[in-house]
Amino acid sequence: MLTDSDYSAIRLTLELAGLTTALLLVIGTPIAWWLARTRCWWKAPVSAVVTLPLVLPPTVLGFYLLVAMGPNGFLGQFSHALGLGNLPFTFPGLVFASVLYSMPFVVQPLQNAFNAIGDRPLEVAATLRASPLDTFFSVVVPLARPGFITAAILSFAHTVGEFGVVLMIGGNIEGKTRVVSVQIYNHVEAMEYAEAHWLAGGMLAFSFLVLLAVNFFNPQGKRVSP
Protein backbone atom coordinates (compact mmCIF):
# COMPACT_ATOMS: atom_id res chain seq x y z
CA MET A 1 0.00 0.00 0.00
CA LEU A 2 1.40 3.37 0.96
CA THR A 3 5.11 3.59 1.73
CA ASP A 4 6.90 5.91 4.19
CA SER A 5 7.88 8.05 1.26
CA ASP A 6 4.21 8.34 0.24
CA TYR A 7 3.21 9.41 3.74
CA SER A 8 5.99 11.96 3.78
CA ALA A 9 4.69 13.37 0.49
CA ILE A 10 1.13 13.54 1.85
CA ARG A 11 2.29 15.33 5.01
CA LEU A 12 4.34 17.78 2.99
CA THR A 13 1.45 18.47 0.59
CA LEU A 14 -0.94 19.21 3.46
CA GLU A 15 1.61 21.53 5.08
CA LEU A 16 2.20 23.34 1.82
CA ALA A 17 -1.51 23.72 1.06
CA GLY A 18 -2.33 24.79 4.65
CA LEU A 19 0.39 27.41 4.84
CA THR A 20 -0.37 28.71 1.34
CA THR A 21 -4.06 29.05 2.15
CA ALA A 22 -3.38 30.89 5.41
CA LEU A 23 -0.98 33.30 3.70
CA LEU A 24 -3.35 33.81 0.78
CA LEU A 25 -6.30 34.70 3.01
CA VAL A 26 -4.11 37.37 4.62
CA ILE A 27 -2.67 38.69 1.34
CA GLY A 28 -5.70 38.09 -0.88
CA THR A 29 -8.33 39.76 1.32
CA PRO A 30 -7.01 43.35 0.99
CA ILE A 31 -6.37 42.81 -2.74
CA ALA A 32 -9.91 41.50 -3.28
CA TRP A 33 -11.38 44.31 -1.16
CA TRP A 34 -9.47 46.93 -3.13
CA LEU A 35 -10.53 45.35 -6.45
CA ALA A 36 -14.16 45.24 -5.31
CA ARG A 37 -14.28 48.86 -4.13
CA THR A 38 -11.93 50.86 -6.34
CA ARG A 39 -12.87 52.84 -9.42
CA CYS A 40 -9.22 53.52 -10.17
CA TRP A 41 -8.22 52.95 -13.81
CA TRP A 42 -5.58 50.41 -12.99
CA LYS A 43 -8.07 48.08 -11.42
CA ALA A 44 -8.23 46.22 -14.74
CA PRO A 45 -4.47 45.61 -15.13
CA VAL A 46 -4.11 44.58 -11.47
CA SER A 47 -7.05 42.21 -11.80
CA ALA A 48 -5.52 40.75 -14.97
CA VAL A 49 -2.15 40.17 -13.26
CA VAL A 50 -3.79 38.46 -10.28
CA THR A 51 -5.77 36.20 -12.66
CA LEU A 52 -2.78 35.32 -14.87
CA PRO A 53 -1.86 32.06 -13.07
CA LEU A 54 -5.32 30.78 -13.99
CA VAL A 55 -4.58 30.85 -17.71
CA LEU A 56 -0.80 30.50 -17.85
CA PRO A 57 0.54 27.00 -18.34
CA PRO A 58 2.39 25.93 -15.16
CA THR A 59 5.45 25.42 -17.32
CA VAL A 60 5.55 29.16 -18.04
CA LEU A 61 5.15 30.05 -14.38
CA GLY A 62 7.66 27.38 -13.33
CA PHE A 63 10.21 28.38 -15.94
CA TYR A 64 10.06 32.09 -15.08
CA LEU A 65 10.16 31.35 -11.36
CA LEU A 66 13.21 29.11 -11.85
CA VAL A 67 15.00 31.84 -13.77
CA ALA A 68 13.81 34.73 -11.58
CA MET A 69 14.55 32.95 -8.28
CA GLY A 70 17.96 31.77 -9.50
CA PRO A 71 21.15 33.46 -8.31
CA ASN A 72 21.10 35.77 -11.34
CA GLY A 73 17.36 36.54 -11.25
CA PHE A 74 15.83 39.58 -9.56
CA LEU A 75 13.91 37.50 -7.00
CA GLY A 76 17.08 35.50 -6.30
CA GLN A 77 19.10 38.65 -5.64
CA PHE A 78 16.30 39.95 -3.43
CA SER A 79 16.12 36.72 -1.39
CA HIS A 80 19.91 36.75 -1.06
CA ALA A 81 19.83 40.36 0.16
CA LEU A 82 17.28 39.29 2.79
CA GLY A 83 19.61 36.45 3.83
CA LEU A 84 17.15 33.76 2.72
CA GLY A 85 19.54 32.27 0.16
CA ASN A 86 18.33 30.45 -2.94
CA LEU A 87 14.59 29.72 -3.05
CA PRO A 88 14.36 26.90 -5.64
CA PHE A 89 14.60 23.39 -4.13
CA THR A 90 13.37 24.69 -0.73
CA PHE A 91 10.03 24.54 1.08
CA PRO A 92 9.80 28.36 1.39
CA GLY A 93 10.39 28.53 -2.37
CA LEU A 94 7.43 26.19 -2.94
CA VAL A 95 5.25 28.26 -0.61
CA PHE A 96 6.13 31.43 -2.52
CA ALA A 97 5.35 29.79 -5.88
CA SER A 98 2.09 28.29 -4.56
CA VAL A 99 0.92 31.68 -3.26
CA LEU A 100 1.29 33.09 -6.78
CA TYR A 101 -0.20 29.99 -8.37
CA SER A 102 -3.32 29.84 -6.19
CA MET A 103 -3.86 33.61 -5.85
CA PRO A 104 -6.82 33.84 -8.29
CA PHE A 105 -8.63 31.08 -6.43
CA VAL A 106 -8.72 33.28 -3.32
CA VAL A 107 -9.09 36.74 -4.83
CA GLN A 108 -11.93 35.96 -7.23
CA PRO A 109 -14.41 34.37 -4.79
CA LEU A 110 -13.63 37.09 -2.21
CA GLN A 111 -14.04 39.86 -4.76
CA ASN A 112 -17.37 38.40 -5.86
CA ALA A 113 -18.50 38.13 -2.24
CA PHE A 114 -17.48 41.72 -1.49
CA ASN A 115 -19.23 42.96 -4.64
CA ALA A 116 -22.41 41.17 -3.63
CA ILE A 117 -22.55 43.03 -0.31
CA GLY A 118 -22.95 46.37 -2.07
CA ASP A 119 -22.75 49.88 -0.56
CA ARG A 120 -25.83 49.81 1.64
CA PRO A 121 -24.54 47.86 4.71
CA LEU A 122 -21.38 49.98 4.68
CA GLU A 123 -23.40 53.20 4.65
CA VAL A 124 -25.54 51.98 7.51
CA ALA A 125 -22.46 51.06 9.51
CA ALA A 126 -20.96 54.48 8.80
CA THR A 127 -24.08 56.28 10.07
CA LEU A 128 -23.75 54.21 13.24
CA ARG A 129 -20.23 55.65 13.52
CA ALA A 130 -18.41 52.39 12.96
CA SER A 131 -14.78 52.90 11.89
CA PRO A 132 -13.84 51.43 8.49
CA LEU A 133 -11.85 48.65 10.20
CA ASP A 134 -14.71 47.88 12.57
CA THR A 135 -17.11 47.85 9.61
CA PHE A 136 -14.89 45.43 7.78
CA PHE A 137 -14.61 42.92 10.59
CA SER A 138 -18.15 43.27 12.05
CA VAL A 139 -20.12 43.70 8.82
CA VAL A 140 -18.17 42.67 5.73
CA VAL A 141 -16.47 39.50 7.00
CA PRO A 142 -19.67 37.89 8.38
CA LEU A 143 -21.60 38.79 5.22
CA ALA A 144 -18.84 37.46 2.99
CA ARG A 145 -18.46 34.22 4.97
CA PRO A 146 -19.38 31.90 2.11
CA GLY A 147 -16.83 33.71 -0.04
CA PHE A 148 -14.09 33.14 2.54
CA ILE A 149 -14.98 29.47 2.89
CA THR A 150 -15.01 28.97 -0.88
CA ALA A 151 -11.71 30.83 -1.23
CA ALA A 152 -10.05 28.75 1.49
CA ILE A 153 -11.29 25.43 0.11
CA LEU A 154 -10.39 26.22 -3.49
CA SER A 155 -6.93 27.55 -2.61
CA PHE A 156 -6.20 24.49 -0.47
CA ALA A 157 -7.41 22.11 -3.16
CA HIS A 158 -5.68 23.90 -5.99
CA THR A 159 -2.37 23.87 -4.11
CA VAL A 160 -2.76 20.16 -3.38
CA GLY A 161 -3.27 19.67 -7.13
CA GLU A 162 -0.24 21.75 -8.07
CA PHE A 163 2.18 19.80 -10.24
CA GLY A 164 3.97 21.57 -13.09
CA VAL A 165 5.36 24.43 -11.05
CA VAL A 166 6.63 22.13 -8.28
CA LEU A 167 8.17 19.80 -10.84
CA MET A 168 10.09 22.71 -12.34
CA ILE A 169 11.41 24.36 -9.17
CA GLY A 170 11.21 21.59 -6.56
CA GLY A 171 14.07 19.22 -7.33
CA ASN A 172 12.18 16.18 -5.99
CA ILE A 173 13.63 16.24 -2.45
CA GLU A 174 11.85 13.92 -0.03
CA GLY A 175 10.33 15.76 2.92
CA LYS A 176 11.09 19.17 1.41
CA THR A 177 9.71 19.46 -2.09
CA ARG A 178 8.36 16.05 -3.14
CA VAL A 179 4.60 16.56 -2.96
CA VAL A 180 1.92 13.97 -3.74
CA SER A 181 1.44 14.92 -7.40
CA VAL A 182 5.19 14.58 -8.03
CA GLN A 183 5.27 11.31 -6.09
CA ILE A 184 2.49 9.92 -8.31
CA TYR A 185 4.42 11.03 -11.37
CA ASN A 186 7.56 9.28 -10.05
CA HIS A 187 5.62 6.07 -9.43
CA VAL A 188 4.14 6.10 -12.93
CA GLU A 189 7.51 6.84 -14.52
CA ALA A 190 9.13 4.03 -12.53
CA MET A 191 6.35 1.70 -13.72
CA GLU A 192 5.15 1.19 -10.11
CA TYR A 193 1.52 1.28 -11.13
CA ALA A 194 0.11 -0.29 -7.96
CA GLU A 195 1.64 2.44 -5.78
CA ALA A 196 0.54 5.08 -8.27
CA HIS A 197 -3.05 3.80 -8.09
CA TRP A 198 -3.25 4.16 -4.31
CA LEU A 199 -2.14 7.78 -4.33
CA ALA A 200 -3.96 8.74 -7.52
CA GLY A 201 -7.20 7.18 -6.29
CA GLY A 202 -6.83 9.04 -3.00
CA MET A 203 -6.33 12.27 -4.89
CA LEU A 204 -9.44 11.64 -6.98
CA ALA A 205 -11.57 11.00 -3.90
CA PHE A 206 -10.14 14.05 -2.15
CA SER A 207 -10.84 16.34 -5.11
CA PHE A 208 -14.39 15.07 -5.44
CA LEU A 209 -15.07 15.70 -1.75
CA VAL A 210 -13.63 19.22 -2.00
CA LEU A 211 -15.90 20.17 -4.87
CA LEU A 212 -18.81 18.62 -3.02
CA ALA A 213 -17.92 20.78 -0.02
CA VAL A 214 -17.79 23.93 -2.15
CA ASN A 215 -21.26 23.22 -3.46
CA PHE A 216 -22.46 22.45 0.06
CA PHE A 217 -21.36 25.90 1.24
CA ASN A 218 -22.86 27.54 -1.83
CA PRO A 219 -26.16 25.73 -2.16
CA GLN A 220 -27.54 28.02 -4.87
CA GLY A 221 -24.43 27.53 -6.93
CA LYS A 222 -23.56 31.18 -6.30
CA ARG A 223 -20.00 32.36 -6.07
CA VAL A 224 -18.41 29.09 -7.04
CA SER A 225 -16.31 30.91 -9.60
CA PRO A 226 -13.70 30.53 -10.73
Partner 1 sequence: MKQIQLFAPLLALTCAFSAYADEVSVAVAANFTTPMKTIAADFEKDTGHKAILAFGSTGKFYAQIKNGAPFQMLLAADDETPARLEKEGATVAGSRFTYAIGALVLWSAKPGFVDDKGAVLAKGDFEHLALANPKLAPYGAAAMETIAKMGLTDKLQARIVQGENIGQAYQFAATGNAELGFVALSQVMKDGKIGSGSAWIVPAAMHAPIRQDAAILANGKGNAAAEALMKYLRSAKATALIKSYGYTVE
Q: How far is the CB of 207 from partner 1 (least distance, A)?
A: 22
Which H or E element spans position 71? none
Site for partner 1 contains 85 (CB under 8 A): yes
User: Under a CB-based contact definition with an 8 Å cutoff, are residues 90 and 146 in contact?
Assistant: no
User: Under a CB-based contact definition with an 8 Å cutoff, are residues 41 and 211 in contact?
Assistant: no
Q: Judged by CB, which is closer to partner 1: 86, or 138?
A: 86
Which H or E element spans position 102? helix 91-117
Site for partner 1 contains 75 (CB under 8 A): no
User: Under a CB-based contact definition with an 8 Å cutoff, are residues 180 and 13 in contact?
Assistant: yes
Site for partner 1 contains 189 (CB under 8 A): yes
Q: How far is the CB of 201 from partner 1 (least distance, A)?
A: 17
Site for partner 1 contains 115 (CB under 8 A): no
Binding partner 1 (rule: CB under 8 A), the pick from 44, 49, 124, 190 is 190
Task: Provide the mask over 140-169, with x wherever binding to partner 1 is found by CB under 8 A and - wherever it is not.
Answer: ---------------------------xx-
The region, left, alpha or beta by phi > 0 then psi within -120 to 50, assigned to residue 28 is alpha
User: Under a CB-based contact definition with an 8 Å cutoff, are residues 26 and 160 in contact?
Assistant: no
Side-chain-facing half-sphere of 28: CA atoms under 13 Å:
29
Size of the site for partner 1 (CB under 8 A): 21
Site for partner 1 contains 172 (CB under 8 A): yes
Binding partner 1 (rule: CB under 8 A), the pick from 100, 171, 217, 224 is 171
From the list 110, 100, 183, 170, the residue with the least C-alpha distance to 141 is 110
Query: What is the rounded CA–CA span in Å between residue 156 and residue 33?
Result: 20
Q: Judged by CB, which is closer to partner 1: 66, or 113?
A: 66
Q: Judged by CB, which is closer to partner 1: 133, or 194?
A: 194
Residues that bind partner 1 (CB under 8 A): 66-67, 69-72, 85-86, 88-89, 167-168, 171-173, 185-186, 188-191
